[in-house]
Amino acid sequence: MTLVLAMILDALSGEPDWLWRRLPHPAVLMGRLIGAADRRFNRGAARRLKGAAVMAVLVLGAGTLGWLIGLLPGAGVIETVLAAILLAQRSLVQHVRAVATGLRRSLEDGKRAVAMIVGRDTRDMREADVARAAIESAAENLSDGVIAPAFWFLVAGLPGILIYKITNTADSMIGHMTPRYRAFGWAAARFDDLLNLIPARLTAVLLALGHGWSDPRPILRDAPRHRSPNAGWPEATLAPILNVALSGPRSYDGEMRHFPWVWPEGRRDAGADDIDAAARALWRAWGLMLAIALAAALL
């Protein structure tokens, strides 16, 4: 029942600014730890081995911390609050809807809002590009920020969700195919891929069930085309639900990259209404995940 309460608490409270202005968020603390390891060990020879050792220590430490917290008096309450903090349903929906709100005011407001949730260049974006970026972020972060942490809490309790979050944070910080991180961040990227293998596909199933989508052929066709082994699954499911083409060309650091389209037969003129529809899809998938958590608790 801990996960059920945590999901509801997160859905009701989200990320209270008044609290995180006074205290560092656990994800911030994880980021500081990973950043310190990056500065200390990402140098010299054997960087892949050093990166793997860093990830082993981080994972072992996160799992041990979760186990120790479970031994404390009142552990159930602590675990509920921590799990709620490490879930991101309400904040994700708020950030996604903010892009739709911004677009309805002006294209520039939409660009500023979407720049808060994506890493691609926004300067030359059109309205459809902004909307597409927001929808893709919604799909990917539903898996990374909600379904995957909830799944790993179901599997392994607080140690499971802590291991997942520190791995996902490490992947976002050092798991890049750049000269600096290609070797050092290899273990973080591969372990994150492994931990997201089941949750990404579960996210696709939840999105499909939430909309009565029963034809898996477009998903099976398009998900493997995606540059990520996991992010393609929720995107390839949400795209036909909204009838919007996703992925496709975008610019990073001034360089245009021509990624394959996901659901290429979909519309290329996405707008604010499509972003709102994506936000509603997030809540439907969340509701089904809540039902799974409740069923697990009752069993």
DSSP letters for 186-207:
HHHHHHHHHHHHHHHHHHHHHH
What pLDDT band is residue 182 in, cutting at 50, 70 and 90? very high
Share of the chain above pLDDT 90, in %: 85
What pLDDT band is residue 50 in, cutting at 50, 70 and 90? very high
Out of 21-35, 240-254, 284-298, the most confident range is 284-298
For 263, other C-beta atoms within 10 Å of its C-beta total: 23
Question: What pLDDT was estimated at residue 90?
Answer: 97
The distance from CA 280 to its chain's CA centroid, rounded to whole angstroms, is 17
Taking residues 198-221, report their average pLDDT. 94
Question: What pLDDT was estimated at residue 299?
Answer: 86
Question: What pLDDT was estimated at residue 240?
Answer: 95
| Whether the Cβ atoms of residue 145 and residue 92 lie closer than 8 Å to each other | yes
Question: What pLDDT was estimated at residue 18?
Answer: 78
The answer, yes or no, to whether residue 19 has pLDDT greater than 90, is: no
pLDDT in tens, 90-117: 999 999 999 999 999 999 999 999 999 9
Between residues 213 and 245, the one the model is more confident about: 245
Taking residues 234-244, report their average pLDDT. 96
The answer, yes or no, to whether residue 16 has pLDDT greater than 90, is: no
The answer, yes or no, to whether residue 21 has pLDDT greater than 90, is: no
Q: Where in the chain are the domains?
A: 2-298
DSSP-based three-state secondary structure for 248: strand
Question: What pLDDT was estimated at residue 213?
Answer: 81
What pLDDT band is residue 219 in, cutting at 50, 70 and 90? very high
Question: What pLDDT was estimated at residue 126?
Answer: 96
Taking residues 219-248, report their average pLDDT. 94
In the block, tokens 């552990």 appear at: 75
- Helix and strand numbers, DSSP H then E, in the chain: 13, 2
> What is the maximum span of the chain, computed from C-alpha positions, in angstroms?
56
Angle of helix 148-174 versus helix 2-13 axis, rounded to 10:
60
What pLDDT band is residue 119 in, cutting at 50, 70 and 90? confident
Taking residues 43-71, report their average pLDDT. 97
Using the Cα atoms of residue 51, residue 53, residue 56 and residue 62 in order, give the sign of their dihedral.
negative
Question: What pLDDT was estimated at residue 83?
Answer: 97
What pLDDT band is residue 214 in, cutting at 50, 70 and 90? confident
Q: Return mean pLDDT, the chain.
A: 95
Q: What is the DSSP letter of 225?
A: G
Taking residues 241-248, report their average pLDDT. 94
The answer, yes or no, to whether residue 87 has pLDDT greater than 90, is: yes
Question: What pLDDT was estimated at residue 192?
Answer: 98
Compute the C-alpha angle 276/280/285, nearest 5°.
145
pLDDT in tens, 248-296: 888 888 888 888 999 999 999 999 999 999 999 999 999 999 999 999 9
Query: Which of 85, 150, 97 lies closest to 286, judged by CA?
Result: 150
Taking residues 9-28, report their average pLDDT. 88
The answer, yes or no, to whether residue 30 has pLDDT greater than 90, is: yes
Categorise residue 157: left if φ over 0, alpha if ψ from -120 to 50, beta otherwise: left
Question: What pLDDT was estimated at residue 14?
Answer: 85
| Whether the Cβ atoms of residue 134 and residue 141 lie closer than 8 Å to each other | no
